[in-house]
Chain A
Amino acid sequence: MAITTSTSQLPTDAVRRRRILPPMTLKLGIGLALTGLITLFGLIGPLLVGDPSAVRDLGLTPPGNGFILGTTQTGQDVFAQLAHATRGSLTIGVVVGAITLVLSAFFGVVGAFVGGWVDEAFSLFTNVMLVIPGLPLVIVISSYVPNKSVWLVAVVLAITSWAGSARVLRGFTLSVRSRDYVLASRVSGERRWRILLVEILPNLIPLLASQVVFAVIFAILGEAGLSFLGLGASGSFTWGTMLFYAQNGLSLRLGAWWWFVPPGLAIALFGAALSLINFSIDEIINPKLRSQTRADRKRWGMTREQLKHAREETA
């Protein structure tokens, strides 16, 4: 009976905690720090600055002279506008992220889990939504609704963007659903909703997170695009509307860089920060990506080819 007990003495003092959180890397650190700073600015900024729409008899003034980022053509405080615009853009990002999460989880995960005609119906609906283009829909809506709020724009963007995530989630849920551990919990008589919530959903968390982060990036860029075309929310500040007014005020031709650089930079930085976070999440979903980075190859002193070969040898 010696054989019977031998396996329980194998050394297993390896990592105790499973990696639910992504490993802290430079990429993730920079991403989180930038996102945190911008979010903080959007939360607190508007409380500290004056009225962003207040018109003064100053004309274009460069930074300094009492205005951190100068003023616009009509003497409005650019810094105050930037604070409010950050809040507006982030609101859109959060709303779209939340709606995408709910809709894609419902139509993707629940559909795939229940299966049968529910799945067929859900995925048909998803596919229909997938091909509805966002831009024309907003143009149609904007011709009916004269005063669009930030919320309306966010809802329209969300409705036209969740379908892609739903499809990704559906595919993954289908594969998880037929894994042995799910069958095993069915065999032990677990209730269906419990199988979904306790056995399947935790394994979807990294994928859900990356889909949401992607949706937020998409929403903020999409809103900026719409606003820049003059189709965005009316009467509220976002990074996109700031760029729109800067463009209208001929800031580029007048050399008023302090008017268009801040919102443009904010969009670029926030998008980059979220992408960095997304890369880190992707690396948990697909650990192969991790060992493909240049830093890793350098550490091993190997070329990509050699690494690939070595992995095949050990697999």
Chain B
Amino acid sequence: MTVLELRDVVKEYKLRDGWQSRKLRAVDEVSFRLEPGRTIALVGQSGSGKSTIAKLLMQLERPTSGQILVNDEPMVYRGARAASYRKAVQMVFQDPFASLNPYHTVGHHLARPVRLHHPGLSRGQVDERVLELLHRVRLDPDFVQRKPHELSGGQRQRVAIARALAPSPGILVADEPVSMLDVSIRLGVLNLLATLQREENLGVLYITHDLATARHFSDEIMVLYRGEVVEHGPADDVILNPQHEYTRLLAEAAPDPERRLAELKR
């Protein structure tokens, strides 16, 4: 079981602007706690720092200040503890068209993490595990030999989810997993994620800019505005009783089928 905690995490990027350099606070003193079995939605507009938080969690970036705690101990970036961290925390990327290597088959994408995190397995066992992963994301076994460009967006994202599940993580970071997909298949992918989350008792950080799905799929909602968490609480509270002006704006902009219908009838 892995528990992740961010304490006053700040990430600043240096922007070079000719001769001068300017600092951009992409993440500003963010704190939260992610536990197994719970889903936290991270909501915010484009550029608010959502992906940066995901990158900090995936050790692709390091915090400028503040602490990331793993099971109440500071994050380690090298060596065996880092490897076991990578096994425990995995990520589904935003864009399924960019997150799979066009050169490699689906099988390669799934077999590599299995091999890396379970070095003892024989070739046959790895293949078996790959097929099992495909089955878990509702894809047929013959997808193993396909290349990414032969898949639809939804299928690609399923492969990306299967890849994230390959090391059997305890925590999954899903960075806008459906924002690049066609509206008609979004719900399918989200339902799949929810099912897997229940089956494996995953802790999920669900990053999105869509309040409606955030409310439906998560226990807590965190609203990010220009790198700062402006609102954090149980999902229904945040939606029904927004405190911050920006949340109110978001809630109004979110598609509400009933209100939409009422507007159309008028």
Contacts and interface: CB of A to CB of B under 8 A. Distances in A.
Nearest to B152: A10
A18 B99 contact: no
Interface of B: 58-60, 83, 86-87, 90-91, 93-95, 98-104, 112-113, 116-117, 138-140, 146-147, 149-152, 154-155, 158, 160, 163, 166-167, 185, 187-188, 191-192, 195
Contact of A190 (B99, B112, B187): B112
B116 A8 contact: no
Contacts of B188: 3-7
Interface of A: 1, 3-8, 10, 12, 14-16, 18, 179-190, 198-199, 202-203
A6 B191 CA distance: 13
A198 B146 CA distance: 17
14 contacts: A4-B192, A12-B146, A12-B152, A15-B150, A18-B102, A181-B100, A183-B93, A183-B99, A188-B112, A188-B116, A188-B163, A189-B86, A190-B116, A199-B104
Contacts, number: 96
A16 B150 CA distance: 7
Contacts of A179: 98
Contacts of A186: 60
Q: Which of A1, A4, A179, A183 has the most chain B CB within a 10 Å cutoff?
A: A4
Given A1-B191, A10-B155, A12-B152, A187 B102 contact: no
B83 A7 contact: no
A202 B166 CA distance: 24
Contacts of B160: 184
B266 to A, nearest CB: 31
Main DSSP-derived SS at the A contact region: helix
Given A12-B146, A187-B60, A203 B102 contact: yes
A15 B151 CA distance: 11
Given A8-B140, A15-B150, A16-B150, A189 B99 contact: no
A-B pairs, 3 with minimum CB distance: A7-B154, A180-B99, A3-B188
B151 A3 contact: no
Contacts of A10: 152, 155
Nearest to B160: A184
B99 A7 contact: no
B209 to A, nearest CB: 18
Contacts of A3: 185, 187-188, 191
A203 B151 CA distance: 19
Contact of B86 (A182, A183, A187, A202): A187
Contacts of A4: 138, 188, 191-192, 195
A183 B117 contact: no
Contacts of B167: 188
Nearest to A179: B98
Nearest to A11: B152
Contacts of A203: 101-103
Nearest to B87: A189
Nearest to A17: B147
A188 B93 contact: no
A202 B108 CA distance: 14
Counting chain A CB atoms within 10 Å of each CB, the highest count among B83, B101, B188 belongs to B101
B99 A184 contact: yes
Contacts of A7: 152, 154-155, 158, 185, 188
Contacts of B104: 198-199, 202
Nearest to B173: A187
Given A12-B146, A18-B147, A180 B60 contact: no
